Amino acid sequence: MTLPPLKAAFGLLVLAAFAAAPFFLSSYDLSLTGRFLALSLTAMGLVLLWGEGGVLSLGQGVFFGLGGYALAMHLKLVGLETGEVMPDFMVWSNVKALPWWWAIFKNPLVAAAGVVLVPAATAAGFGWLVFRRRIGGVYFALITQALALAFATLLISQQAFTGGFNGLTNYKTLFGFNVNREGFSHAIYWATLAVVALAFLGGAALLKSRFGKLLRATRDNTNRVRFLGYDPTPIKIVAFTVAGMLAGLSGALFALHAGVISPALVGVVPSIEMVVWAAVGGRASLGGAIAGALLVNFAKDKISSVLPEFWLYVLGLIFILVVTVMPKGLAGMVPEFRLKPLRLPRRTPKAAT
């Protein structure tokens, strides 16, 4: 995949600016930027699924939570003090032994694989069950919203195994490194930025491939794609799986930056906010998804700190304005600069004498 020179130069300039952020941002602002960059992975997944595939999911918080909890379970286990065999909330709940599905995440390789594979496998299985029955449109959106509600309710109700409403917090080490050590915040920020950059390039390559063309064709006219001999079901499943995998990575990285993963981050309202990020940035633009996630979440931080109860009204207003005034989001406001081909004057041949 090759990018036009102007777009490539602009992308490198933006990447360099974000890479230099730890040297001129305060620790608080750097932490926020890292969190919001992590959230942009979920928005990019929605660009692939919703913008290019025409499948609106209101349950991406489920996959965000699966990735976040997979890593947080590992962090809780490796952070136990000498002599402890299970997290404190299990002890308070009189759990007799550490469950096997907790114990396997003590292995760092299993935890790293779980961050990607658990959300991806869940999305693939759910997508296979739903798309093979040709469920789409508003019905699919409502089903995924119900899934997010059920997942958040399950996490809260199983307090003895999930930490309940408080979730999992108080992490100490990651792969042997002290997460509270000075300099770790810079390292995890750069790691997050690298993952976002790779996801952007990978997503752009995927959308320019044959799969991307089939995905857009499925969005525009599913029946015509079927009549041409292609089965749209695997195409939608793959898109949903990739979006779920990106959401899982997003949840894991966010948990590292924020130091917590809880049901409050995976329910219905957070899942709707994720859709707003993609809509504000431009649901057909990967770069717009990153910008939308950063802009909306920085606005949320500033507004919530002044008027905590006012944010949801602002969020609803933003979504209404985007749908009615800017259907293409921020990306639609950026003009496309294309170099016109150089046309040389045609030389008329001289008549033979």
Assess contact for 236 and 53: CB atoms under 8 A: yes
Write the CB contacts of 94 (distance below 8 Å, at least 6 apart in sequence): 160
Question: Has residue 142 got a pLDDT over 90?
Answer: yes
d(CA 247, CA 58): 12
Assess contact for 214 and 160: CB atoms under 8 A: no
At position 310, the amino acid (one-letter code) is: F
Question: Has residue 342 got a pLDDT over 60?
Answer: no
Question: Has residue 118 got a pLDDT over 70?
Answer: yes
pLDDT digits (tens, 9 = 90+) for 127-136: 999 999 999 8
- The three-state secondary structure class of 221 is coil
- The three-state secondary structure class of 125 is helix
d(CA 229, CA 232): 9
Write the CB contacts of 205 (distance below 8 Å, at least 6 apart in sequence): 1
Tell me what pLDDT residue 339 has.
42
**Mean pLDDT confidence for 147-154:** 96
Tell me what pLDDT residue 297 has.
95
Which of 72, 96, 6, 113 is CA-nearest to residue 265? 72
**Mean pLDDT confidence for 102-123:** 96
Domain spans in the chain, listed from the N-terminal domain onward: 26-267
Assess contact for 2 and 10: CB atoms under 8 A: no
How far is residue 98 from each of residues 163, 164, 236, measured CA to CA in Å?
Answer: 14, 16, 38
pLDDT digits (tens, 9 = 90+) for 9-44: 888 999 999 999 999 999 899 999 999 999 999 999
d(CA 292, CA 278): 6
Query: Would you call 93 exposed, middle or buried from its count of C-beta atoms within 10 A (0-12, 13-18, 19+)?
Result: middle
Cα angle 45-66-123, degrees, rounded to a multiple of 5? 50
d(CA 253, CA 175): 14
Tell me what pLDDT residue 125 has.
97
Question: Has residue 331 got a pLDDT over 90?
Answer: no
Which of 318, 311, 330, 298 is CA-nearest to residue 34? 298
Give me Rg for the CA atoms of the chain.
Answer: 23
**Mean pLDDT confidence for 258-287:** 94
d(CA 11, CA 93): 50
pLDDT digits (tens, 9 = 90+) for 164-209: 999 999 898 888 788 877 788 899 999 999 999 999 999 999 999 9
Phi, psi angles (nearest 5°) of residue 96: -80, -35
Assess contact for 64 and 265: CB atoms under 8 A: yes
d(CA 251, CA 162): 16
Tokens representing 228 are 């041409």
- The dihedral over CA atoms of 262, 266, 270, 275, expressed in degrees to the nearest 10, equals 150
Tokens representing 349 are 């041949």
Question: Has residue 350 got a pLDDT over 70?
Answer: no
CB contact burial 328-337 (16+ within 10 A = b; e otherwise): bbbbbeeeee
pLDDT digits (tens, 9 = 90+) for 40-81: 999 999 999 999 999 999 999 999 999 999 999 999 999 888
Phi, psi angles (nearest 5°) of residue 173: -135, 150
At position 349, the amino acid (one-letter code) is: P
**Phi-psi map region of 347: left, alpha, beta (phi>0 left; psi -120 to 50 alpha):** beta
Whether pTM > 0.85 for this model: the answer is yes
Average pLDDT across the chain, whole number: 90
Task: Report which secondary-structure segment, H or E, holds 168.
Answer: strand 168-169
Tokens representing 102 are 């907790």
